[in-house]
Amino acid sequence: MYILDDINAGTWAMGAASRCWLHHSLLALSGSLNHQLLVLNGDPVTLLPKLASAIGAQHIVWNRCYEPWRIKRDKSLKERLREQGIQADSFNGSLLWEPWQVLKEDQTPYKVFTPFFRKGCVRAGEPARPLGAPQTIHVATDNRKSRLDADQQKLIGATGIHALALLPTINWDTTLRDTWQMGERAAKQRLDEFLTAGLQGYREGRNYPQRRNVSRLSPHLHFGEISPRQIWHAANAAGSAAAVENDLNTFLAELGWREFSYSLLFNNPELPHKPIQARFTNFPWTSDQTLLSAWQRGQTGYPLIDAGMRELWQTGYMHNRVRMVVGSFLVKNLLLHWHAGEAWFWDCLVDADLASNSASWQWIAGCGADASPYFRVFNSVTQSEKFDADGDYIRRYVPELAELPAKYIHAPFSAPAQVLAAAGVTLGENYPQPVVDLKQSREAALQAFKATQG
């Protein structure tokens, strides 16, 4: 059974890109279960007890979730079911370790990643090995199924995957669908491809958006199509066999950052809204819808920023190095609140995960746990020159600059007029002038930061 719960989710109901993924993921899951998956829409706290009574269920189990709203909901659900004499249990299916397992010696949560991962996670023991698939799954008999369908109609009306209306009414998701394959089979295939062709060289290659050294497993992990245990043990085996220990350790540490984000959210339920470092509460953020819109649409005049934001819009994904650069640009060059970036990513990412999204935006804004120092401002031009030297990534997502030579593609505003003309680029017409000056905006950000130090 799958229940779409937009009621308890409130502000954090899934964004548009995630809903597209969910639609196709549910189709794949249902197909793998011989179309025996029951899909409902509503509040599980109301639906599950009624449906349990309708089919005579004695025991209900589910995979545990760690978002604050889900913890609150599931606690109420367990109480309601147990009041009816129904056994209710939840299990860890999405993390390597439970957040309450990874604590310092004084039993307080970690606030710095390296000791969290190198000490806390190691002390918690090796992640459990995944179990094999069950030989058989016993579903309700035809009799009970017919009875349940009738009760369903009384309880919630139309149901089923298509009735959830997860797909957009305007057909903007074509490129997104062409970019990804959803479902468990696709997740396993993606893992195999990464371990074969991407793990070797991962430590350095993961920084270059045009290289194959990224796993692209995050949406599969987010939707439970593959578990971190499967990835952890498969990567360990592949990395050891190929003798690429440095690459393996770096990749496992990235799984560790995911765990750290969940630990932060579990121990700081206000993480999506409130900075961990209290001094940022009164930070003098600006509010400029024109600048925000330019950033969202990939029209800032800085090619790496624009390429990243267009990749996000078209595919529901952005390379991690580029995520850091576009995030830094938003909060430190445009001085716009990290909440604006958090909300835009939430709607546009297929791997929009409340823990990782919130922790990452606080990290780049300098206000979170073990955060990047606020005075560290990523320069989008130098980052572009270093990690996309030939401009291949930019040419892919900013095609109006495709004819510019590599020397100028990272900063078209510095190109001579004849070079721009030869490439068919007219700044201010078919590609924008920079919306801010990098040096001046960096100085303004540092001055704003000083205001928080008093």
Catalytic center residues: 254, 257, 285, 320, 338, 361
Residues 6+ apart with CB under 8 A from 235: 195, 199, 248, 251, 252
**Which two structure tokens, joined as six digits, stand for 176?**
């997104």
- From the list 384, 360, 380, the residue with the least C-alpha distance to 372 is 360
68 CB burial (10 A radius; 0-12, 13-18, 19+): middle
DSSP 137-165: --PPPHHHHHHHHHHHHHHHSS-STGGG-
CA atoms of 346 and 196, how far apart (whole Å): 31
Burial category of 294 from C-beta neighbours within 10 Å (exposed 0-12, middle 13-18, buried 19 and up): buried
For residue 179, CA distances in Å to 150, 166, 207, 378, 401 come to: 39, 18, 21, 28, 23
**CA 333 to CA 238: how far, in whole Å?**
41
Euclidean distance between CA atoms 182 and 189, whole angstroms: 11
Tokens for 52?
């349990």
Rg value, the chain, Cα: 24
Q: What is the DSSP letter of 278?
A: G
- What tokens appear for 69 in the block? 């709203």
